[in-house]
């Protein structure tokens, strides 16, 4: 899985360079606050051995205008009307509350349905503290579920239906994706009512 958090801007740009991607300014915002990274992500250790299109918004964890930056990029970069973004949150893939002690980290921003984002805050508060082994943190299965589920599952049957929906939206059915979906289900079951 691609990284969703970097220790600092230097680590983010080193990763971007490793993948030959471009960094772009978002409107007139400072490059030290929020950036758009575009290009092709090399799946180096997923077994896919391929290039995937990559176009993501990244922000310094302490940057406060992240929602307006996503709205601006949605309109100017992707031609999405502001009215089409109603009910969509600009989400820090890793909850900002978990990053308060790491203000210089850079976190990926992702458009997430409000019906999923707000309830997942309850789960994210119970996740372990962020600890860097190297300069990046990768997307975990439980956070992948948040990005793609639309709303938090309420029981085992709802989780099964949610995972079936996610499977239907993924382009590739391979061992890596199957493992991810298995891990997603395993992690989500810990947070469902008994």
Tokens of 50: 């391929």
Q: Is residue 145 part of a domain?
A: no
Domain span including residue 103: 3-139
What integer pLDDT is reported at residue 184 of this predicted model?
85
pLDDT score of 30? 94
User: Could you report the average pLDDT of every consecutive run of 10 residues in the chain (194 residues)?
Assistant: 92 92 93 94 65 89 92 84 82 87 93 79 83 88 80 85 80 68 87 76
Q: 23 in a domain, yes or no?
A: yes
Would 132 be classed as within a structural domain? yes
Within-domain flag for 111: yes
* In-domain check, residue 72: yes
Count of structural domains within the chain: 1
Distances (CA, A) of 47 to 43, 44, 51, 148: 7, 7, 12, 22
The pLDDT value recorded for residue 45 is 57
Determine, yes or no, domain membership for 194: no
In a domain, 150, yes or no: no
């Amino acid at each position: 899985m691609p990284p969703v958090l970097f220790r600092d801007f230097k680590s983010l740009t080193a990763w971007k360079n490793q993948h030959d991607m471009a960094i772009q300014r978002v409107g007139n915002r400072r490059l030290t606050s929020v950036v758009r990274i575009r290009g092709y992500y090399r799946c180096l250790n997923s077994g896919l051995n391929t290039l995937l299109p990559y176009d993501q918004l990244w922000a310094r964890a302490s940057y406060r205008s992240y929602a307006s930056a996503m709205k601006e990029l949605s309109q100017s970069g992707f031609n999405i009307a502001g009215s089409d973004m109603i009910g969509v949150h600009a989400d820090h893939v890793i909850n900002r509350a978990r990053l308060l002690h790491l203000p210089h980290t850079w976190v990926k921003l992702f458009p997430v349905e409000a019906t999923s984002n707000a309830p997942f805050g309850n789960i994210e508060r119970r996740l372990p503290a962020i600890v860097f082994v190297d300069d990046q943190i990768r997307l975990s299965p439980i956070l992948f579920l948040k990005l793609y589920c639309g709303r938090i599952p309420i029981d085992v049957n709802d989780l099964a239906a949610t995972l079936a929906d996610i499977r239907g939206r993924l382009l590739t059915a391979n061992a890596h994706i199957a493992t991810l979906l298995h891990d997603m289900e395993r992690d989500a079951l810990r947070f469902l009512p008994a």
